[in-house]
Copies of this chain bind each other. A is one copy, B any other.
Amino acid sequence: MNKRATQADVAREAGLSVTTVSLVLNGRENTRISEEAAARVREAAERLNYSPDPTARSLRTGKTRSLAFISDDVTVTRYASAMIRGALDAAEERGYTILMAEVGEHPERLEKVVDSMLERRVDGLLFGLMSARRVDLPALPRGKRALLVNGTSAGLPSILPAEHDAGQAAVRRLLEAGHRRIAFIGRSPRVYDPYLSATIPQRYAGIDAALAAAGLRFADEVEGHEWEPELGYRGTRRLLERAASFTAILAANDRVAFGAYQALQEGGLRVPDDVAVMSFDDEQLATYLHPALTTMRLPYREMGSLGVRMLLEGEEPVPDAATLVPMPLVERESVGPPREG
């Protein structure tokens, strides 16, 4: 474990020049090196256990084979951190490294962090948001590739969950199970501010479209923008007190569904036989519940991996274009089986 071998060492060992070594090891085809020389180089490299110094290479080429992943509160928030895993895996496959930074709720830190990443000469920047919304980012040098994962920002391409489809699919699943009287918990006018949410309006739109297509409206609704168990609990109690009857609850997200379960259980109602519950997100939580929750999964990991793929491959991404990633239906036990016909 002495000093690491350098290209010059390999050249000496192989009895050739550094040029030859460099050419061979970088697989340059156009300049025809004799097969024999190439073999000698490879053997020597092997023997000396040579691996190129990325620092020196970067200095020379201007490329670092590294990407910045900058997030707001992804690591400390529930399951959104899977986005990181997706990015990490995709980067590793391509021989890239991810430099991570997280700024929390401090937009002023963002500028510093971006600068520091730029100083480190990253080849591209990913911005990952814990919840899909619009953000204002510091200006980036022209030609530096950047995009948002689970968010949008002026002038940058973005990757978002396909919420409109998911909204439709959720409602359709309920309809297929034969439900006609469905209650909805979690509608909120506030989400129409893009800085609060970039996607929830689509989720609503998909939901309403699917319902309308079946000639239906919600049997009842509870408003609320704090999508925590409390809303689900109180919302469900209110629903139960009201006159309108319903056979299924569509919850704005899993935590709301969680609260709904509590109220249903207290009320002596069984899921899914008395009331079916369908939801969005697919947190860990969804698997803890009895019966386990059927929900539309937010594809964090896929979005993260698509993020690095888009950054690294293919043509120049289109500014302001959004790429939608499907939200799969995760079938569990809180909605009865689809009915034939």
Contacts and interface: CB of A to CB of B under 8 A. Distances in A.
Number of contact residues on A: which range applies?
35 or more
Interface string A119-148: 111000000000000000000011000000
A301 interface: yes
Contacts of A120: 54, 97
A237 to B, nearest CB: 12
Nearest to A68: B97
Contacts of A142: 1
Given A255-B288, A265-B265, A102 B85 contact: yes
A258 B97 contact: no
A101 interface: yes
A78 B284 CA distance: 7
A19 interface: no
Contacts of A78: 79, 284
Contacts of A229: 288, 290
Interface in A78-124: 78-79, 81-82, 84-85, 88-89, 92, 97-102, 113, 116, 119-121
A51 B265 contact: no
A75 B88 contact: yes
A96 B291 CA distance: 46
A64 B59 CA distance: 13
A55 interface: yes
Nearest to A120: B54
Nearest to A51: B119
A298 to B, nearest CB: 13
A53 interface: yes
B75 A119 contact: no
Contacts of A39: none
A85 B288 CA distance: 26
Nearest to A142: B1
Contacts of A76: 79, 81-82, 85, 301
A106 B39 CA distance: 33
A64 B75 contact: no
A246 interface: no
A285 interface: yes
Contacts of A98: 99-101
A58 interface: yes
